Structure 1
């Protein structure tokens, strides 16, 4: 079973805030579906105006126009709003480039990967680089001599800094190409300066720096090395996570939420760079056990998603009665780009609390299990010792598997031990269950896309975390855990109930539903592997797994389905279900005249499953193997299996090649073994 690993080709931690996949492609469809179509052209024209006031107005208008409106955002993008705003970053008037940064920041957050990629391709880093030293100088002056600038001037700089750091954060997640370019700016000292001066700066500015630093240190060695090089950095980060909440006054609750987000981000940074360097004086800190779990477990249980969804709906209904902000736009009274009503502020606060939950889940997922190095070599003698033992053939096959095999033993990163993991299961089960606003309707978009986006992200992240919890538990099985079959059945039923709520009818714009199924099957595989033989197969569930295996084009999903079916097939008394599953697994194999249409990885997994299921001829369901003459079907597959394994490129897929060769040999040995049996 594949652990939830980060894909380096697309590094986004957060989903698109206001998704647009429900919209047909093309500018014409965007124009026809945008309620603000007529306002777009004047704004684009004013971005080029010789009048600075008009240019500033246009930058602000972009932010107002795109609010929760993917069709208008797409329409603006088609009119090159990104290029026009990047040009405004070099404007002669300070107010213009400040507002342009705000508009670009909002486009990054709302539009996600595609817009960020466009910004990078249009060289947004050129003007951004020039802002970094200017911000550093201003920050130093404010900290050393606060009276050198009026408070409102300082606030403008802080808000501008927040926007710049947010854009850099989003760009860092866009691609390795963008990340490498950002590495050249040497941002770690710049970002850490905000965390070090956190007591004297607005919490939003500090949090934006922490968010950028969290992303930069995610599987990015240059930034990790830079942060680990200074003992002061480690000390500062530890001080943040260990600090007490000292928020006071009427904004205590709001500031408390932001401090929680800062602590969660800092926990993520520490997790990214763990273990801490010996020179830091904190090298003995077990980041996972002493920081990640104690801090983040209460965070993920702090919010009810049912209540959050209901609150969002009531706020949206209230917002509908308020006048739209676009009508308030005028050159005489230019609103700030962050001008929002009290209702909008409350909605944003709710969204931010939910984003913090999702972030905490993301960090916990990494702490629960980490992938082994795919190019690591076995210890000397390790492979030979197992090859000498015929009884260990099946285990050897698992040990050399690629990263999708369930028994791929994770290297615990010192962050957790399996005894800490069961306590996470119950809160995670609660967070995977859909609520009213979890997914957009089959036609159109949600009544509040940002809330729907973050709720679905929480469900997916909680499933990913469960996936890694059960992967780790199955890699370190205990007699106590195996005996707790009632708990396993409860988790199994809860995951199926969640998938039942998601449903199998998935319309355009509801891609998160598909993700839920694909990750959920991985959780089922992990649960099934721990309590193999104890879970009674349900006919409907078996058919759904077979249908998903047949309909998916993703070999990873197919492997997960096959692995889960294998676990169900090993319930001793379920002879009919065993037969149905076995026939499906046999259908995946090649024949004497045709190769497998399922792909090499699913083929190898199906062979592994069949050998595992029928390795004990004394089990009640073995009657299916004998009566169905399965051994002849396996014989017919041998040559096709050999061809499939021979076609694997060892240079590109070394692990898969090794596993395929092992499985090819195991298949031949298994056939000989079964033929030699006498009944």
Structure 2
């Protein structure tokens, strides 16, 4: 089964809203494909105007131009818009600074990692650091004497705080270097102050603070410790999601159509923070609560009732009704719209996107809850675990001793994971609903989506649901009992889950290698892992179809990802063990034999090779099964004998120090192969 249940690299809790991988690279292409290229020069010029009104106008224009328009965004990037906007963060006019921050915020969200990395490299943290204490001081003054400040001045500060927090959130997911720099800013008291004053502040600003804190507490030890050891902070977080707690309500500062969706998102984010910092030590009141059972699951349950098909239809209707955004030539300097100006249809699309992102977040939290296997940090004490080679000269005896320790850790972890939580089975049905694609889930082949943010959110939900299902079935399959019936599942349920996931992958389609179709490929990469998990629990009960066998073989040949190959071989192995499916068994087993040395061309990578050998041993370990006739008639034993030396060489090529776990598995498979050959020879069939 798959070795890891958590995705630990390049996670983005708010993925790029306007994916642009389908676009050719280069400034010339961006110029040719943007319908607004003529507007770029006036914006660049006005950004450096002596007139503050023109500088403000230029900042707002950037936000309006990049909206759902990756070509124009790339064109602006080529003109150093990031550097020029960072300069405007030190502008003498407050409103220019606020609008510059708003444009940078929108670039972060719409542009993704590349723009965030550019901002970090151009030292955006220098001005942002100065803003944090200023915002804190002003916020304290407004909360202490709200009547002393005009509402428009308050709104300006809240909007500015929202922009700064969102930029920090996006930057923290750019790289470890950026995260470490942000850790040094001491953001936790700043962010918690918004959550503590949640009833007096605009919900959008509070939700941004919660989002930032959620990201910063995700496997980031310094921030986790700072939050979890502060009883006041943890009590505040718990109070936010307790059923009797009054959640922030939209007030005069925050009347928009996304308020209900933001309220739900805020509560889900807080659940995510609580899980990130768990377990919470005494004396916090949160230490006395069963967070998963009494707080997290009750909060997430309503979110899981979201109907994706209905949401996609509503989004399509809003797209059809969409009114054009203000044209650049219609923006006067006297009546400059806010950078977040939205038409009614755009507000509806934003509300729907917020709902969908909340579903994605809920699934992300559930995926962590369902990851009952130990984290890789368990092995951090093992030599070589940090990626540094062991000391030269370490002898094999030392290595074997270390391996024994590692195996003991694994055995302990397996014991801890022997009883998957009972709520696992209740999640399967709603998760399967989220796996099923909608008409807007993926960009059409060869064309962009009619509304990329909605498509991005829907695709992310499908992937997150599959990741959660993967963890559930991986946990069940690796439990000590391994009895699905004891967890409320029977073979008929297993077949239904397998068919539902396969049906979703069929709708995704096999055209997954085109540029811009990365999400489809991700669906397949994770989906085969779910199929393998289900198949392991219900070996012999799943009837393979010709389509399933052929498509999986083609997929295994096409993918270059070693782990995906392993998962696909594992899935085929499970399908091949249906006793009455003799033809399917023959096709699968002959494919596995084609992966073995010396006849494999090109040579099969080591890990998939070991999986294929192990699969053949498992499939034909019972000579009384109907499909064993394939083994005898196909002279499989001769092919296995010919493969032994090649398998031995493959195992010897595994570095003991760098890939210790794989080396142990390889030696086990090699020994099993030799023993299996002796066993089959002894049968004299």
TM-score, normalized by the shorter chain, greater than 0.5: yes
Q: What is the Cα deviation at residue 370 of structure 1?
A: 4.1
Correspondence 1:495-574 to 2 at 5 A: 495-506=501-512, 507-574=514-581
Aligned partners of 1:287 and 1:550: how far apart in 2? 44
Q: What is the Cα deviation at residue 629 of structure 1?
A: 2.0
Name the SS of the counterpart of 1:421 in structure 2. helix
In the alignment, structure 1 residue 493 sits paired with structure 2 residue 499: yes
Q: What is the Cα deviation at residue 102 of structure 1?
A: 0.2
Aligned partners of 1:137 and 1:249: how far apart in 2? 22
Inter-CA distance 375–345: structure 2 relative to 1 (3 Å threshold): closer
Q: Do the aligned residues in 2 keep the contact of 1:369 with 1:469 (CA within 8 Å)?
A: yes
Q: Which moved more, 1:435-444 or 1:67-76?
A: 435-444
Match of 2:213 in 1: 213
Aligned partners of 2:628 and 2:486: how far apart in 1? 29
Q: Do the aligned residues in 2 keep the contact of 1:438 with 1:455 (CA within 8 Å)?
A: yes
Q: Which moved more, 1:139-148 or 1:2-11?
A: 2-11
Q: Do the aligned residues in 2 keep the contact of 1:638 with 1:668 (CA within 8 Å)?
A: yes
Aligned partners of 1:371 and 1:604: how far apart in 2? 23
Inter-CA distance 443–678: structure 2 relative to 1 (3 Å threshold): closer
The one of 314, 327, 330 equivalent to 1:328 is 330
Q: Do the aligned residues in 2 keep the contact of 1:316 with 1:447 (CA within 8 Å)?
A: yes
Q: What is the Cα deviation at residue 323 of structure 1?
A: 5.6
Aligned partners of 1:227 and 1:378: how far apart in 2? 24
Aligned partners of 1:343 and 1:369: how far apart in 2? 39
Q: Do the aligned residues in 1 keep the contact of 2:556 with 2:564 (CA within 8 Å)?
A: yes
Inter-CA distance 229–246: structure 2 relative to 1 (3 Å threshold): closer
In the alignment, structure 1 residue 613 sits paired with structure 2 residue 616: no
Aligned partners of 2:201 and 2:325: how far apart in 1? 34
Q: What is the Cα deviation at residue 99 of structure 1?
A: 0.7
Name the SS of the counterpart of 2:273 in structure 1. helix
Match of 1:584 in 2: 591
Inter-CA distance 493–7: structure 2 relative to 1 (3 Å threshold): closer
Match of 1:353 in 2: 355
Q: Do the aligned residues in 2 keep the contact of 1:60 with 1:99 (CA within 8 Å)?
A: yes
Aligned partners of 2:98 and 2:409: how far apart in 1? 49
Q: Which residues of structure 1 form unaligned runs of 5+?
A: 380-395
Q: Do the aligned residues in 2 keep the contact of 1:410 with 1:475 (CA within 8 Å)?
A: no
Aligned partners of 1:663 and 1:268: how far apart in 2? 41
Q: What is the Cα deviation at residue 513 of structure 1?
A: 0.9
In the alignment, structure 1 residue 444 sits paired with structure 2 residue 447: yes
Name the SS of the counterpart of 2:17 in structure 1. coil
Q: What is the Cα deviation at residue 455 of structure 1?
A: 1.0
Aligned partners of 1:323 and 1:555: how far apart in 2? 46
Aligned partners of 1:440 and 1:464: how far apart in 2? 21
Q: What is the Cα deviation at residue 598 of structure 1?
A: 2.9
Aligned partners of 1:125 and 1:248: how far apart in 2? 31
Q: Which moved more, 1:333-342 or 1:62-71?
A: 333-342
Inter-CA distance 362–377: structure 2 relative to 1 (3 Å threshold): closer
Inter-CA distance 376–315: structure 2 relative to 1 (3 Å threshold): closer
Aligned partners of 1:272 and 1:175: how far apart in 2? 19
Q: What is the Cα deviation at residue 371 of structure 1?
A: 4.1
Match of 2:36 in 1: 36
Q: What is the Cα deviation at residue 6 of structure 1?
A: 4.7
Q: Which residues of structure 2 form unaligned runs of 5+?
A: 382-402
In the alignment, structure 1 residue 434 sits paired with structure 2 residue 434: no
Inter-CA distance 376–504: structure 2 relative to 1 (3 Å threshold): same
Inter-CA distance 418–72: structure 2 relative to 1 (3 Å threshold): same
In the alignment, structure 1 residue 283 sits paired with structure 2 residue 287: yes
Q: What is the Cα deviation at residue 418 of structure 1?
A: 3.2
Q: Which moved more, 1:11-20 or 1:327-336?
A: 327-336
In the alignment, structure 1 residue 295 sits paired with structure 2 residue 299: yes
In the alignment, structure 1 residue 265 sits paired with structure 2 residue 269: yes
In the alignment, structure 1 residue 462 sits paired with structure 2 residue 465: yes
RMSD value, Cα: 2.6
Q: What is the Cα deviation at residue 191 of structure 1?
A: 0.9
TM-score of the pair, normalised by structure 2? 0.90
In the alignment, structure 1 residue 198 sits paired with structure 2 residue 198: yes
Inter-CA distance 283–180: structure 2 relative to 1 (3 Å threshold): same
The one of 601, 605, 614 equivalent to 1:599 is 605
Q: What is the Cα deviation at residue 257 of structure 1?
A: 2.2
Q: Which moved more, 1:237-246 or 1:599-608?
A: 237-246
Q: Which has the higher contact order (CA 8 A, sep 6+)?
A: 1
Inter-CA distance 99–521: structure 2 relative to 1 (3 Å threshold): same
Q: Which moved more, 1:183-192 or 1:157-166?
A: 183-192
Q: What is the Cα deviation at residue 523 of structure 1?
A: 1.0
Q: Do the aligned residues in 1 keep the contact of 2:258 with 2:350 (CA within 8 Å)?
A: no
Correspondence 1:148-297 to 2 at 5 A: 148-242=148-242, 243-244=245-246, 247=249, 254-297=258-301
In the alignment, structure 1 residue 669 sits paired with structure 2 residue 660: no
